[in-house]
């Protein structure tokens, strides 16, 4: 294995672990049956938007998720 493949594999594993942590740190959208009924309407109409730490975690999760997928495809092509 060449050096590039090893470095990309290490970054892939770190991205995977970081992605797991950021997903677990996020709060659930809603709990229970009433949350299921009301939560969909609030999300659809946009009255319940993430603020502060939840918004930051969501952005980080999206970025790391994209990095993870790009690295997985790149490693598969090598």
Q: Which pair of structure tokens corresponds to residue 55?
A: 């918004």
User: What sign for the dihedral angle of Cα 66, 59, 27, 39?
Assistant: negative
For 14, the domain range is 3-77
Q: pLDDT tens digits for 7-19? A: 999 999 999 999 9
Residue 39, pLDDT score:
54
Query: pTM of the predicted model, to two decimals?
Result: 0.68
Residue of 3 and 27 predicted with greater confidence: 3
Q: Specify the number of domains making up the chain.
A: 1
Q: pLDDT tens digits for 18-63? A: 999 999 988 776 655 555 565 555 555 555 555 788 888 889 999 9
Residue 65, pLDDT score:
94
């Amino acid at each position: 294995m060449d050096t590039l493949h090893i470095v990309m594999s290490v970054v892939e594993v770190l991205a995977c672990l970081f992605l797991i942590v950021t997903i677990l740190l996020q709060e659930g959208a809603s709990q229970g049956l009433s949350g299921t009924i009301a939560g969909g309407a609030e999300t659809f109409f946009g009255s319940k938007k993430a603020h502060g730490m939840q918004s930051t975690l969501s952005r980080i999760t999206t970025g790391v998720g994209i990095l993870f997928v790009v690295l997985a495809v790149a490693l598969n092509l090598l």
